[in-house]
Structure 1
């Protein structure tokens, strides 16, 4: 009889544990994705203010330079497809690792296409993305600390976004 009570108790404990630890049907739509809001996220009205400041303090100078090149307006923004950005970041991380670097960020540079870029891009402003990071260190290194700062990594930047001259969208 004593053994039977242990068996019953084992079944009860097993049932309780199964109830709490086994998966149940979950409504995927009601689940929220957990993520960290990145440093530097600003409110849309602050972005609009920054854009308006650029218009007030830079647009005339930039567009007058474009007009000297035979353009009415210069590019104000560049956009990339999300898939292209995600693929570029994955590619850059892999290439950095192959080259012995730890990729830890990106920089966005301004550039100008120049005279030989064709009619659609001739002398227009562009932006391109360059991965940044530091040289990797072996885990057995005698000097695990480094004083080098983030530098542009020696791999191809991402360009060929789609540029435009319109202001900040409302």
Structure 2
């Protein structure tokens, strides 16, 4: 009887474990897909639609091929997010995202300033939690006084289209 009970408990645990493993694995792909994904075809369409603007900037304004992209390593982005969370907290904010800006370096003796892309942390100001009334936090505002992330690597060549 003791062996039968051990066998049944083992069987139930095995079935439960298998069910949990399979249900988690089947939903893993759906759970990890972030909102806002676009297909390679959509990427190509966006890149192609930017060509005329890029030509105006490169040909008319700075007379040299300008940057079309910036590349950051995963390590740089993860380290920046950790840093931005700490800095936001020390400034009295809660980090809720990153905004990506297009910018340009000033012209110098070496030539015209080329385009760059940089991240700025966004969030909302921490408020007292003493109220029993629900409060809505307005998020997505740039955190004034917080450091941004710049100096990504240029495309190769800088004016290269998608894909590189």
- Calculate the TM-score normalised by the size of structure 1: 0.73
Aligned-residue CA RMSD in angstroms?
2.9
Judging changes above 3 Å, is the alpha-carbon distance between structure 1 residues 61 and 8 closer, same or farther for their aligned structure 2 residues?
closer
Q: Which one has the largest radius of gyration?
A: 1
Task: Compare the two structures and name the one with the higher helix fraction.
Answer: 2
Pair 1:133-2:123 in alignment: yes
**How far has the Cα of 1:14 moved from its partner?**
4.8
**How far has the Cα of 1:148 moved from its partner?**
3.9
Gaps of 5+ in 1: none
Judging changes above 3 Å, is the alpha-carbon distance between structure 1 residues 12 and 131 closer, same or farther for their aligned structure 2 residues?
same
Q: Return the alpha-carbon distance in structure 1 between the equivalents of residues 10 and 36 of structure 2.
A: 49
Q: Deviations over 1:114-155 (max 9, x none)?
A: 134x74x85111110001111123322355424645211131
- Calculate the TM-score normalised by the size of structure 2: 0.75
Q: Return the alpha-carbon distance in structure 2 between the equivalents of residues 115 and 157 of structure 1.
A: 21
Written as runs of structure 1 = structure 2, the 5 A alignment for 1:34-73 is 34=29, 35-56=31-52, 58-63=53-58, 64-67=60-63, 72-73=64-65
1:80 is matched with: 72
Q: Deviations over 1:80-138 (max 9, x none)?
A: 1111011111211222223221211111111111134x74x851111100011111233
Judging changes above 3 Å, is the alpha-carbon distance between structure 1 residues 50 and 22 closer, same or farther for their aligned structure 2 residues?
closer
Gaps of 5+ in 2: none
Aligned 8 A contact 1:137 1:144 in 2: no
**How far has the Cα of 1:9 moved from its partner?**
6.5
Judging changes above 3 Å, is the alpha-carbon distance between structure 1 residues 9 and 130 closer, same or farther for their aligned structure 2 residues?
same
